[in-house]
Every structure is written in C-alpha cells, then in structure tokens.
Amino acid sequence: MVHIKLRRDHVCAADDYTCSGERVIFVDAKASVQEFLTEVLKAKFLQTSSSHQCLVAKADAEIALVVPDDGAVIPIVDLTAPISIYTINKQVSFSFSLSREQQSAYANYRRRQWGGS
C-alpha cells in the first residue's frame, strides 16, 4: 500500500471552516489510475455545488476530469496505467479550474448524458 495526499478546492466559504481540503488515501502500489479515482470517489472527499460539478485531477500531470455526482471519470491519460507513474510526489489535487479544452470535454460528456450528439 502507498499513501497519496489529496487536496481539493473548496466549494464555498463555509467549506473552509467545516472540513479540511486535504486527506490521505491508501491504495495498492499497483493500482491503476481508474482504481485510484474509484477509491477517491468512494471516499466522498470531493464536493460539488450547482455551479461547480467537474474537477480536474492533477498529479505530476493532469490525469482526468472527475464528475463526483455522476461517479464519472473523463480520461486525460490511459486509465489502465499505474497511478504510481503520475504520483512521484505522492500528491493529487482536484481543482475546478478547467482549461478551455477540458471545459469542452466536460460539455461533450454532458451532451452525451442528455442524449445530444
């Protein structure tokens, strides 16, 4: 097992006071990116609001977009790759600051969810 420190953006001012924006999660040393993100989602560490629903997971590289309310992962890297190759520093942050390309990927995901093309 290896530990990875998680950090996340706060959703609102009250969030700053009610809970820490950091947590340590333990995963198998050979866990894939998908397995790691599944554990993060199960931990209910990520929070959302009506206006903030998609976060980018950043380690030593950006690895995925995460939509916690849907339990969805939109890959940036190969989800079957070991998480260890992206977490040399043993940290992953989750941020609402998406690039334009990531915003577009999230919009395409939502369109597919709503039955659009």
pLDDT digits (tens, 9 = 90+) for 21-53: 888 999 998 999 999 999 999 998 888 877 888
Tokens matching residue 78:
């190969």
For position 18, what pLDDT does the model report?
Answer: 64
The model's confidence at residue 57, banded by pLDDT at 50, 70 and 90, is very high
Region 67-90: mean pLDDT is 94
Look up the pTM and report it.
0.88
For position 14, what pLDDT does the model report?
Answer: 63
For position 46, what pLDDT does the model report?
Answer: 87
Q: Is 114 within 8 Å of 63 (Cβ atoms)?
A: no
Rounded Cα distance, 64 and 48, in Å: 16
